[in-house]
Structure 1
Amino acid sequence: MRASILKQHHVLIASVQGSMSDADLAALRDELVSGVQRHRATGVIVDVAMLDVLDSFAARTLRGITQMVKLLGAECVVVGIQPDVAFSMVQLGLTLEGAATALDLEDGLALLKSRNRGNALDGD
């Protein structure tokens, strides 16, 4: 898999390192969803800053991750979507409807902190 998952307090951070196969994306989804339960995570950040292409399967998988994480009681934020990727997604009609997005990791952490009233990052 070309993604690494780190745990910072109650937040899981998945950093996608490059283009991923459909199987890699599905494995990332499964690992994040099980990680939320295993680590009692209150937040998940998926950093896609290194991706220069986001196809329909990847967009559906990211949307699915955000929905599954929410069903488990955590918040999910997709960060780092590059301008060219955003442009292409809009042109192709691909959306992350219902998914929270932020410019970068710092903004994603701040968004989670504000949504969880400080519990996501305080280490409790």
Structure 2
Amino acid sequence: MERIPILKIGDVLLVSIQIDLQDRDVLALQEDLSEQICDTGARGVVIDISAVDIVDSFIGRMFATIASTSRLFDATTVVVGMRPAVAITLVELGLTLGNVRTALNLEKGLAILRQIGGTRSDVLGRADDDQPVDR
């Protein structure tokens, strides 16, 4: 089984799914991502599914579960790059992604995290020269 890479950029974890997802892949991703959030203290998670052609009901529910798990670790999840066919399939299956935030692309997903304070730099505000900075 091939693991989905999780990249750390600042206090955001980026997951770019480049394979056809199987149920076991999503379960492994949920476990790996939970460990990485806990280990790194990440405040935001971006899951890029722009290369994903098919999302079934299980995988759709697992994205919602991943977002809920991330929230328990004080991280906000944004799913980006959903193709129109995937969105239509989810609607036809009657699935919602629950409280999962979505964005058109990676840039907009990162903007959402900045806007809602999903990254430390925004929570801390701008650093003054006489203020300690937590990086």
TM range (shorter): over 0.9
Report how far residue 3 of structure 1 moved.
2.3
- Larger deviation: 23-32 or 112-121? 112-121
Report how far residue 4 of structure 1 moved.
1.8
Find the residue that maps to 1:59 and give its secondary structure. Answer: helix
TM-score normalized by the length of structure 1? 0.92
Match of 1:69 in 2: 70
Instruction: With a CA cutoff of 8 Å and minimum separation of 6, indicate the structure with the bigger relative contact order.
Output: 1
Q: Residue 13 of structure 1 aligns to which amino acid in structure 2?
A: L
Match of 1:4 in 2: 5
List runs of 5+ in structure 1 lacking aligned partners: none
Q: Residue 78 of structure 2 aligns to which amino acid in structure 1?
A: V
List runs of 5+ in structure 2 lacking aligned partners: 125-133
Contact 1:16 1:48 in 2 (8 A): yes
Q: From the CA coordinates, give the structure whose radius of gyration is larger.
A: 2
Report how far residue 96 of structure 1 moved.
0.3
Q: Residue 17 of structure 2 aligns to which amino acid in structure 1?
A: V
Contact 1:52 1:84 in 2 (8 A): yes
Write out the 4+ residue segments of structure 1 that deviate beyond 2 Å after TM superposition.
117-124
Residues 120, 35 of structure 1: CA spacing in aligned structure 2 closer, same or farther, 3 A cutoff? farther
Contact 1:60 1:96 in 2 (8 A): yes
Identity %: 38
- What RMSD over aligned residues (CA atoms) do the two structures have, in Å? 1.8
Instruction: Tell me the matched-pair count.
Output: 124
Match of 1:119 in 2: 120
Deviation sequence 1:41-72 (CA, Å, 0-9, x none): 00001111111110011011100000000011
